[in-house]
Each structure stands twice: as C-alpha cells, then as structure tokens.
Amino acid sequence: MAERAGGPRPSPLVWSLRLSMKTCLIVDDSRIIRKVARRILEELDFEVAEAADGSEALTYCRSEMPDAILLDWVMPVMDGVTFLRQLRGETGGRSPKVIFCTAETEPRRIREALAAGADEYMMKPFDGDILESKLAETGLV
Amino acid sequence: MTATFATAHVEHLAAVLKAVSGFVLTPDKHYLIEPRLAPVARRYGMASVEQVLGKLRTQPDEELIWSVAEAMSVNETTFFRDKAPFDLLRDEVAPALAGRRAGGRLKVWCAGVSTGQEAYSIAMLGAAAGLDLEILGTDFSQRCLEKAVAGVYTQFEVQRGLPIRQLVEHFDKQDEMWRANARLRQSVHWRKQNLMGDFRGLGPFDIVFCRNVLPYFDADTRRTVLEKIAAVTAPDGFLFLGVTETAMDSDAFRPAPGRRGLYARDPEFRLAA
C-alpha cells in the first residue's frame, strides 16, 4: 500500500508550505533503502511517499503524479522497467523525473533503462552527495 | 584524537611543503599529517609518521620529499565540479574565443588537475558541443597523473557530477571500475607540472582552469603563480578560478563582470551581455 508522509493532519500553514514542496515517490522493495533515501530526500526538502513495487507505484501515480520517482529495478510483482514503460504511457506520465536506483551496473542495462524513459540512473551503493548530484542533473534541486 | 609531533618536525614539514608544492600547512591542517603520511611510513618500512618526519628533517632524499608532498596535497575533485563554470565555458567563453581563432581551435590548460576529472569533463563537453579543444592536464603529483592518464574511476567517482548518458557514452565498465574509453583518453594530453616550477614550453593557452588550487598557497605564491599563468595565456584569453576564489593578489587578470570565477587577461574584453 502506498503511504503518504506520515504524522497528524498538517496545519494550514504547513499545508501551504507543502504545496510548494516537490514530491518524490520512492519505489523499492527494501524498507532499509526506502528509509535511507527518505532521510536524504527530506533533508533536501522533498515531500516523500513510498511504494514497495512497481504496481503500488503505478496506483500511487494514477491518483497523484509526483515530481520525482526514485526507482529500483528488481522488485516483486512489477519490476522498475515494466513500471516505467507503463508510467510513460499514462496521462501525465511523462512529467515525473525518474531516477533509477539499482544494483544493476552493466552499461547494457543502463541503456535499456534510459531507452525505457529514465532521466537519470544511480548505481547502488549511493550516498547523499550522489543522490543530490543526480537530482541536480534532472533539474530538481 | 589528533596525533602530535615534535614542533621542529612539523615546522620543517611546513617549510618543505611550501617550497615543493606551495602548500601552506596551517595549524588547522595539522590533523592531516597522521592519516596522510601513515601510508608513506608503510611504503618506506618505517614504524611511524614521527619517523618519516624525522628522516625528512635529518636525511631527506628527493623521493621521500616528493612522496610526502604528494601525500599532503588535496586531491579532491569531481566531474563537472560546480557545473556553472562548464556551462559558461560552453555557452560563452569558448564560442567567443573560437570565433577569433583560425580554424576555431582552442588550447585549454587544466592546471592542478589532480586525478583528471576536470580535463575529461571539458573534453566531453567539447565533444558534445562540437568545439575543437586541445586540452592539457597537469599536476605536480605523479600518483594523481597516473590515475588521470589511466582514466580509471570508482563507481562513486563516476556518480559525482557525471550525467549517466555521458558515463555510458564515454566510459567502459571494467570489473568494478569505469574507464574512460580510448577516444576520451586521447582527447586530453597530460604532463607533470609543478605550479612552483618553470612554465617554459607551456602555452600559449586560450583558456586556463586553475580551480581550488591557489587557496592552499600564501599570498606571495598566489601572485607569482597568477603572473606566470598570465604569461602563458593569450592576451584575450581567460582564467577560471574556483567559485570562492579571487585573482586579487595580482593585476594579471580582471574579473569578468557577472561571471563568478571567470577572469579575463584583457581588462577591456567583454563577453556579450
């Protein structure tokens, strides 16, 4: 189940600030990776949502397109490339900047992801500097 | 905890570094001594950094002096570091100068290029923008130059500042490392060059990058180096310094208005607004 950034219902001021914040959907079956990425993204002032596979992510995107998607490749139910191809075919599905975040490091695989519509590509392991650098490449920070 | 060394040893080290590489060893950098020189101690089969400092003072040889100076230098760099200077080079500086050169060929010098990322960044930028650039990368550190020439970088290094499309276009994966492909490697020339030394045989250059190097020098050394760079820069050429630096120690270069980090040899020269 895709979950919104948690906590109690925000005050109107907090809500109006959030409207101006960029949103990033983290799609990864590893809870630890989601947690690490969430911490970095929140420090960069993103509002973060999470999904554990491509199918959950697609459900989320159909209700609300995020500004950015951090996308794992190998996941149960629906993998990252399958999700990306479907996303790009959806209404408004070309707008999110999609950054792969995966242990796949073969140039052939990277080209495949780019051909499927990825904007950037990050190889695990990563750190805050690398994620920020990739977000900068896509014009998000 | 920071290891402490005999004051005389540290003072001698500071004098050696200033003479050899221009590096000013201020007290806030003393913490670097132990971690940077421990590998030198191991390489020379010495028991401690204290021993390295002692030998440097009492019976130095050229090889030890160079090893110490290299180990103490700051090599940190990334591909397309700070990004803006590269956009400025591609969009304004190179087009303006290329129009004034026969055939449009520009000579670029990356001074203090460390492990080579800056020179390769310029080469990739030139290839994408259709610029004809002749690029020379120099550093005083043999170890850094060897890495630059080999063009082999870790997965972490190629993910800092290098767009993924440029990675797959210009690099090959070799085991866990990424290597600049032959075409990219051939687009940069390398040479060992100490900024403290003689610039004979260098230049003239149209564009010089000397970023994040001068802050490690004292004001006199900065002025001398700026003037030596000016002497090998074309009269209408440009110098890029780090975004937090100035060329105020010398009159040799003037800041280009509104372009942070860019300096012109010719005080009258203006880029199109």
Assess contact for A135 and A101: CB atoms under 8 A: no
Strand partners, B109: B136, B208
For residue B56, the enclosing domain spans: 7-72
The shortest CB-CB distance from A133 to any of B155, B160, B165 is to B160
Residue B269 lies in a domain: no
CB within 8 Å of chain B, chain A residues 77-116: 105-107, 110-111, 114
Quote ipTM for the complex: 0.86
Residues B42 and B143 in one domain: no
The pTM is what? 0.89
Residue B273 lies in a domain: no
Q: Any idea where the domains of chain A sit in the sequence?
A: 21-137
pLDDT at position A45 is 93
The shortest CB-CB distance from B173 to any of A107, A127, A133 is to A107
The shortest CB-CB distance from A107 to any of B156, B161, B168 is to B168
Of residues A5, A13, A49, A7, the one with CA closest to residue A28: A49
Q: Indicate which of A73, A130, A140 best probes the interface with B, i.e. most B CBs within 10 Å of its own CB.
A: A130
Contacts of B172 in chain A (CB under 8 A): 107
Residue B1 lies in a domain: no
How does pLDDT run along chain B (273 residues), one tens digit per residue? Answer: 567 899 999 999 999 999 999 999 999 999 999 999 999 999 999 999 999 999 999 999 999 999 999 999 888 899 999 999 999 999 999 999 999 998 999 999 999 999 999 999 999 999 999 999 999 999 999 999 999 999 999 999 999 999 999 999 999 999 999 999 999 999 999 999 999 999 999 989 999 999 999 999 999 999 999 999 999 999 999 999 998 898 888 899 999 988 999 999 987 766 654
Query: Which of B72, B94, B121 is the last residue before a domain boundary?
Result: B72
Q: Which residues of chain A have pLDDT under 50?
A: 1, 3, 6
d(CA B234, CA B216): 26
Assess contact for B157 and B117: CB atoms under 8 A: yes
The total number of structural domains in chain B stands at: 2
CATH topology of domain A21-137: Rossmann fold (3.40.50)
Residues B50 and B131 in one domain: no
Contacts of B168 in chain A (CB under 8 A): 107, 110-111, 114
